[in-house]
Copies of this chain bind each other. A is one copy, B any other.
Amino acid sequence: MATERCRAREFGLVIGGLQTGAHNAITDVAGVRVGHRTVIKGEGKCKIGEGPVRTGVTAILPAPDDLFVSKLQAGVHIINGFGKSVGLMQVAEVGTIETPILITNTLNVSKVADGLLDYLIMDKGLDAPSINPVVMECNDYYLSDICGRHMGKTEVVAAIEAASDGLVTEGSVGAGTGTAAYGFKGGVGTSSRIVSCGEQRFTVGALVVTNMGKPDQLRICGKPVGKKLMEQGVDPALGGSIIMVLATNAPLSSNQLRRVAARATHGLARTGSYSGNTSGDIVLAFSTARRMPLLPEQPILTLPEVSDNHIDMFFTAAADAIEESILNAMFMAETLIGRDGNTLCALPLDKVKPLLK
A interface with B by C-beta (< 8 Å): 17, 48-49, 78-90, 92-95, 106-107, 109-111, 113-114, 117-118, 121-122, 127-133, 139, 141, 146-147, 149, 197-198, 200, 216, 219, 221-224, 227, 251, 253-255, 259, 262-263, 265-270, 273-278, 280, 292-293, 295-296, 298-312, 315-316, 319
Name the distance in Å between A355's Cβ and chain B's nearest Cβ: 11
Write the chain B residue with the least CB distance to A304: B300
Whether A79 and B262, one on each chain, are in contact in the complex, defined by CB atoms closer than 8 angstroms, is yes
This protein's copies in its complex: 4
Assembled-state Cα–Cα distance A219/B16 (Å): 11
Q: In the complex, what distance in Å separates the CA atom of A48 from the CA atom of B128? A: 11
Q: Which of B121, B146, B266, B300 contacts A48 (CB 8 A)?
A: B121
A80 to B316, CA, bound (A): 14
Contacts of A118 in B (CB 8 A): 149
- With A81-B89, A81-B92, A224-B222 in contact, is A129–B117 under 8 Å at CB? no
Given A129-B107, A221-B222, are A263 and B275 also a contact pair (CB < 8 Å)? yes
Contacting residues, chain B, for A198 (C-beta < 8 A): 298-300
Report the minimum CB–CB distance from A118 to chain B (whole Å): 8
Residues of B within 8 A of A300 (CB): 197-198, 200, 251, 304-307
Chain B residue with Cβ nearest A254: B255
Q: Which residues of B contact A85 (CB under 8 A)?
A: 89
Which of B86, B93, B106, B254 is within 8 Å of A86, CB to CB? B86
The reply to whether A200 and B89 form a contact with Cβ atoms under 8 Å apart is no
A90 surroundings in chain B (CB, below 8 A): 81-84, 280
B-chain residues with CB within 8 Å of residue A79 when the two chains form the complex: 262, 265
Contact of B114 with A141 in the complex, beta carbons under 8 Å: no
Closest to A276 in B: B312
Which partner residue on chain B sits nearest A278 by CB separation? B130
List 7 A-B pairs, minimum CB-CB distance, nearest first. A222-B222, A81-B93, A129-B141, A269-B269, A110-B114, A110-B113, A266-B269
Q: CA A147 – CA B300 in complex, angstroms?
A: 31
Q: Which residues of B contact A306 (CB under 8 A)?
A: 299-301
- Contact residue among B114, B259, B276, B277 (Cβ-Cβ distance under 8 Å from A80): B259
**Measured CA separation A128–B84 after assembly (Å):** 14
